Structure 1
């Protein structure tokens, strides 16, 4: 059993949710923690970072065989920083990568479980909040074969 499964079964330590948002258009990654105090923790790669306290809410994806697993999260946008960063990524036409990590309150030296790494693919801004959705690679809706046989790709098709 993992440490997180033991906590779920026993009702022990608090689980701390964190988000890392990164984009090539940004100067540095944005580290957020759900709560009122900043958190210094170590990532799975051994990097010690400071997660900024933020009013965030995270809805984890369902564990099923539906093929689409979406993580939704809401970020407080009172200061406008979230909107500024998202606008910069849209202007540069770059993808925003999101990493969700959960930590146990008593063990901040490593995440409690393997992190979720996802790519954001949608979002809405509604007043003081930004709601963003992220997901894994969508294999089910991937076209097969990947090459589309059009007249530009295969000119001989015009004579069929």
Structure 2
């Protein structure tokens, strides 16, 4: 009995399911990194266009889809930062911003972040420690007075 769905049709279905599953995460990641919703939408669309080119190749592993999606999104956001020179002296370094967004924003585990960023867990822990120190230092600078209206 012949296969009811050709392999190409099955691959399209798998790709569509992956896109549906990861669109929100990729948009959230780009939105948190860029802090601009319009540009985040463009990055999300470009990410899936790039993945579609890869996916059309027979060697693409759909189980690696999320890793490739995160990496593509991060690469595009880094390019956007480089073009716009968005990093200020007070901002965290790019690598630490990535770890902060992936840990606190997307709530990914350290092993997941390690795979995506290709960094060891101890290095990520060090970066998270620095992020927490920076956040604590920023909180210490905030006014402590009561801002409620009476």
Is this a same-fold pair by TM over 0.5? Answer: no
TM-score, normalization: structure 2?
0.25
More strand by share: 1
Structure showing greater relative contact order (alpha-carbon pairs closer than 8 Å, 6 or more residues apart): 1
More helix by share: 2
